[in-house]
Structure 1
């Protein structure tokens, strides 16, 4: 079939779907009806080695599923464990977080002090210097 789209001509050859009769019979408005499905061209499926909830399986070219051969699991060497207890580790993390928090506050104060000096606001400069003395 010759078609034209926006000035470009081309020949369109639609694929024909060959129906395949099945043994399925139904009734529609009192009449018998034989179902016919289009014949499908099988598409080769990829071969994959998959795992679901720790159980290995693989797919075949037809899409069927078969169990994968058992492979000995790899055992990773144990990492060196810390000799500190969970409470000590938590305490270390808290002190590191507190140090970072104080450094951020100090950095923010210095920035605010620089801005106040640029504006020439003496009362704000005095307040920020007093606040810096508390953190020093």
Structure 2
């Protein structure tokens, strides 16, 4: 493709990527549209949910049927309480750094305001 930028002519060849179509993702104006993936990236497989992973064959062949059918790993996500605790700790750390900076600058007014904020946050 020939292009021009500020009077300079140049040729740009768009790299072609071999794409494969995945499953139907939805409809647009009455037509189905599919997910498309580059050929070198494997198409994701449907599973039993976001926390399900397949057992390795070496573990599944031990004769224990219950262990073979259980998921290999279950990813646990932090709870709302955990996230709130981390958030509060981060705010307290930021307040401490700001108080140190105010002390270094000798800004007594800002230091008083940060102390009040720190007491309100129960840091």
Normalised by the shorter chain, which TM-score bucket? Answer: 0.3 to 0.5
**Normalized against structure 1, the TM-score is what?**
0.36
Using CA pairs under 8 Å that are at least 6 residues apart, name the structure with larger relative contact order, 1 or 2.
2
Q: Which has the higher strand share?
A: 1
Q: Which has the higher helix share?
A: 2
**Normalized against structure 2, the TM-score is what?**
0.40
Larger Rg over CA atoms: 1
